[in-house]
Structures are given as structure tokens and as C-alpha cells.
Amino acid sequence: MSDPTPNRRIAIADLRYASEMPAIPAHPSAPTGHVADRLHRPLHDLRISVTDRCNFRCSYCMPREVFDKDYVFLPQSSLLSFEEITRLARLFVAHGVRKIRLTGGEPLLRKNIEVLITMLAELRTPQGQPLDITLTTNGSLLAKKAQALKDAGLRRVTVSLDGLDDTVFRRMNDVDFPVADVLHGIEVAQNVGLAPLKVNMVVKRGTNDHEIVPMARHFRGTGSVLRFIEYMDVGATNGWRMDEVLPSAQVVERIAQHFALQPLEASEPGETAQRWRYADGQGEIGVISSVTQAFCGSCNRARLSTEGKLFLCLFASQGHDLRALLRGAYSDEQIAGAIGLIWQQRSDRYSQLRASGSAAAGERRVEMSYIGG
């Protein structure tokens, strides 16, 4: 017997993470530009994954033994269209979002990503201000795309780079990609004005921690902001172990042995990085310490997956299916009401619970490659 509703089939890949159908308030009120969760945290930052695919196989994110040639990625029909992404972004902005970060997977693999950036760049806050639109990339396609991204309205980029030693870098990306090509992409991005450019280094003890000082030395005085990220227990496929975490305090100590550092205040509420400036004025570094110094108390970020599931924490195990609302007969008013209700009920604080030993065990957390870092 033929399927009477062939257009409603759900791809197996869509079912990899549990999701709830969002509740619609009986009488949704118009967004006010401010919504807070149960811990009084506002919604300011939206991270949008535009693809679950990546051309790297970094062990801490998409290890090859899991994401191999037989891995089933989401089909094109499951992905949010650019129009759907923009519609949702507009509603999030109405609730107070001021910053949108495009991520992945590798976002530059999404065909015509510049078109989406152009659409998002036209959005305005309730006060009439443009959004801060950024993008995180592994840098492999950045040299080719930088000018088009800038012309489309992208303001800044963050490049993931886990070391300068070519052997170490090729081993960590696990596709034999040369570090020189990423460095060239960074140079091109700076030249076209995608600045201030940030460089993120995930530090794994015993793997690339010897690259900390060389990285600091290389980017010092270049205008790029180097940030060191503690190796995190995101998802369930990266084989995370606490003994591979190098605390950020030790990262700062290593750099301070070579360059005098002075602490800086946070540049904005909810900033994840602790910042230091070089005492001689040659720029700054930052450390993101989500394992050893949880910053859940000020987290103002929501994450939208490639196929429209809203996650309220990087370590979440369940999302909220906004795509079902987009592709159903729901108005902007109803969808905005659902988003507001979801955020108001939020109480996520996984890193703090992990630190206290009270985090729930055994839950299947979402993978970083699915919702971005």
C-alpha cells in the first residue's frame, strides 16, 4: 500500500535527538524586546547552525570513527531554508537577541551562505539598530569566501585553529589539511575587514598544549584576539576525559611566563571569555573555562539546530521543534509566543551542576557538530 502522505515522511536523521512540540500560549502577547528565564538570564545571543556537515574530522567534535563515510547526515529537505531561518531570527530579535552567530558543522559548506547573511543583515532591533552578525569557521574556505561574506554584511569571523605546527594540525583535523591554508584565510579575512577577528584554540592536554605559547606569540600584535577553550564534554562521541582538560588558569600562567599580562573587564554581559591584555599594548587573549569555572549564571545564548530545533544549552539532551511551527499553520505571533514561553521556562546550568557533582548521568547530550560551539 502506498503512503497516503509521502511529503510528511520524517528522515531517520531527523530523529537522532528528542524534541518537544512547543506549546503555543492561549493568548500570546507581543514581544517586548526583553525576556528572561527562571534564573533571570536575558536572551541576547542566537547561534544558528546552517549545516551538520564538516570537511574536518576533529576528534573533539566529529571523530572519524563515528562520522565516517556511512554516517547519515540530514537530507536537504530537512534543513531550514534561508527564509525560515530569517523568519525565526526576526522573532528572536523581537525578544531581545542582538547578536547572531552562524555556525555548523562548517557553515561555509552551506551553498550560497552569503544570501542568508544578506537577509539577516537587513534585520533591525526594536530600537532600529543593525545586528552583530558573526560566523565561526574552520578557515578552510575562508580565503575564497571572505570578500563575499563581507559584502553580504558579515561583520566578523571566528576561526577555529588548534595549533601552528603543521603535523599537529593535520593530525587534529584528521583530513590532512595544511595549517598554512587556514593562516592564509585569516590574512585574507583581516584584509577585507572582517575584524576584529577571533581565533579559537581548543586545548587538549598531551595533544596540543605545547602549542599554547607559539600561538600566543604568533597572533600577538596582529589585531586578532586569540582565545583558548578548555576541552569540553560536549555530546557523547569525543571520548572526553577530565585528565585531558588543561585548566585555563594554567594556560594563562604559561603565557604570563613569556609576556606580561593584565586582566580586563568583560566587554559585554554574558561574555564567556575571561580576558587579559598584553602589558605592552600588543593586543589581548581570552580563556573560556566552561569545565573548571562554569559561567552558566550569565549565559544568554540560545542555539538553533540545522533543522530548526531550539536548544537552550550546549550540553542539552532535548530540543524544541520550531520547524514544526514554521511548516504548520502558525502565525508569527504564535511562534513568537512559543519562543518566549520556552525561554521563560529555561533553567539549564549543566556546567555548574557538573562542577558540583550533581549533573544527571546517562543522558544523551547533543553533539557540538549539530548545534555549533
Which residue would you say has higher pLDDT here, 176 or 296? Answer: 176
Q: Read off the DSSP letter of residue 221.
A: T
Confidence of residue 343 (pLDDT cuts 50, 70, 90): very high
pLDDT at 1 (0 to 100)? 36
Q: CA–CA distance from 196 to each of 106, 155, 162, 222, 225 (Å)?
A: 20, 9, 19, 10, 7
User: Using CA atoms, how far apart are residues 311 and 342, in angstroms rounded to an integer?
Assistant: 10
Three-class DSSP category at 80? coil
- Quick one: average pLDDT of 13-19? 61
What residue type is 1 in one-letter code? Answer: M
Contacts 24+ apart (CB under 8 A), 325-331: 325/22, 325/24, 326/80, 326/84, 326/87, 326/88, 327/84, 330/24
pLDDT at 121 (0 to 100)? 98
Alpha-helical segments (H) within the chain: 82-94, 113-121, 142-152, 166-173, 179-192, 212-219, 248-256, 322-326, 332-344, 350-356, 368-371
Confidence of residue 232 (pLDDT cuts 50, 70, 90): confident
Confidence of residue 4 (pLDDT cuts 50, 70, 90): very low
Q: Read off the DSSP letter of residue 263.
A: E
If you average pLDDT over every residue of the chain, what do you get?
89
- Quick one: average pLDDT of 16-35? 87
Which residue would you say has higher pLDDT here, 20 or 210? Answer: 210
Confidence of residue 12 (pLDDT cuts 50, 70, 90): very low
pLDDT at 312 (0 to 100)? 92
- Quick one: average pLDDT of 119-148? 97
Three-class DSSP category at 12? helix
Pick from 65, 355, 58: nearest CA to 208:
58
Q: 33-64, pLDDT tens digit by residue?
A: 999 999 999 999 999 999 999 999 988 888 89
pTM across the whole model: 0.90
Which residue would you say has higher pLDDT here, 21 or 233? Answer: 21
Is residue 113 pLDDT above 50, yes or no?
yes
Is residue 69 pLDDT above 70, yes or no?
yes
Q: 277-309, pLDDT tens digit by residue?
A: 999 999 999 999 877 777 788 889 999 999 999
Q: Which CATH superfamily is domain 43-371 in?
A: Aldolase class I (3.20.20.70)
Is residue 211 pLDDT above 80, yes or no?
yes
**Domain assignments of the chain as residue spans, ordered by start:** 43-371
